[in-house]
Amino acid sequence: MFRNVCAFLFSLFIVSTVISQDWNGIPVPAILEGDDTWVLQTDVSDDFNYSAPASSKGSTFLGKWDDWYHNPWSGPGSTEWSRTHSSVSGGELKLTASRYQTNKVNAGIIHSNQTVQFPVYIEAKVKIMNSVLANGAWLLSPDDTQEIDFMEGYGADFSESANEDLTWWAQRMHISHHVFIRSPFQDWQPNEFGSGPGNPSIHPTWITRNDGAGNILWKDNYHTYGVYWKDPWHLYYFIDGIQVTKREGKDQIDPVFFTNSRTPGDSNDDTRTGLSKAMDIIFSVEEQGWRTANGKSVIPTDTELANTVNHTMRIDWIRTYKPNSSLSVNDLNKRVVVEMHPNPSNGIVKLDSNSLIKNINCFDIKGQLVVSENYNDASVVFNIEKLVKGIYLLKIYSENGMLSYKKLIKN
């Protein structure tokens, strides 16, 4: 009896922990004009409250993500990206790193199945590794010519391989963007103190935060990192709900004319389009190759990589919003709004939608399909009486093929 009570209390603790990781109640810090409102984009948002084992991630994960880079590239520097170094458990996406061969690093990376494009606000809650490896949350166009990095951090404050104090790196979060010409390869991004005319130092790309006792180490806690990609010429970056830097105008976004629609890089032919292309969302861990200290490469040693806890990047959630005014009437009509009650439930759950519900697939926390029901109504009853207690994900299909996701708790 005591064992059962303890198990029940433990399950309540797990449920409470998972629920607390959601972004519900956290306002979007980017302010819209007039009466415009933010609309959640469910196909590129994820609270990771399900299970996706590293070797077999299941339909819930694979419906939104691919566990690889968005093009056939194995990684920079000594990095060898690996599909088995990403997983979802405990309400988090986890990207890990380990030794590969003699001097290479296996690491995790994922990218979204759907692209995003301005105007859009994207924010993720992340805890970076206690490692010299780079941890990133970024956007990249499928042709690799436009990039927005809304979080790039190096967690460890010491390098065993270089025997060097890296506190400077551990105290700074890199926030920036790139424009590229692929052939011959050229890459431009704002430097540490900004770039362009006027006084660029007011828009840093390396962000520090002082807690009164000195600059914090970003690896020590979870933080939210967000970007409001307003249009091709305006980027506003946020950490923990506070705007920390921005880029505005052609001379801060593309002073080198790399985004010219004709003759990229030719300043005599100003056809710049700015950051205009749709982009994939990417989370990654990598050894970038260029970092050195005292002439020695900053690469994790075997001893460092053996510490899996220190080499796990944790993503609690990612949420993506578009302004209501940017959505077409067709988009709004297609958007599935589903109300579900009661939740938690021990048997019958009612779902009411603004669209005909055609199918509901119910997945357990391991990502296994446990119930599938077909409907043809905007108000349906879903029976979970035979399910065991726990957390489930409902994948709801509407008449126009749009999806909605709902977390359900069986008590």
| Positions marked catalytic | 147, 152
Residues 178, 146 contacting (CB under 8 angstroms): yes
> Which distant-in-sequence residues (6+ apart) come within 8 Å of 198 by Cβ?
none
Q: Tell me which amino acid residue 364 is.
A: D
Q: What angle do CA 43, 48, 49 make, to 5 degrees?
A: 120
CB 300, CB 109: distance < 8 Å: no
Using an 8 Å Cβ cutoff, are 370 and 410 in contact?
no
Task: Identify the residue whose tokens are 């691919």.
Answer: 66
The angle subtended at Cα 374 by Cα 373 and Cα 380, nearest 5°, is 85
Burial of 34 (0-12, 13-18, 19+ CB in 10 A): exposed
Residue 92: what are its φ and ψ, rounded to 5°?
Answer: -140, 150
Q: In a 3-state reduction of DSSP, which class is residue 111?
A: strand
Phi and psi angles of residue 181, each rounded to the nearest 5 degrees, phi first: -115, 125
Nearest alpha carbon to residue 229 among 172, 114, 144, 146: 146
Length of the chain: 411
Determine whether 13 is exposed, middle or buried from the number of CB atoms within 10 Å of its CB (0-12, 13-18, 19+).
exposed
**Separation between Cα atoms, residue 58 and residue 274, nearest integer Å:** 37
Integer angstrom CA distances of residue 345 from 33, 50, 348, 369, 392: 40, 18, 7, 19, 11
| CB contact set of 310 (below 8 Å; sequence gap of 6+) | 129, 130, 131, 156, 304
Contact 252, 259 (CB under 8 A): no
CA 378, chain centre distance (Å): 32
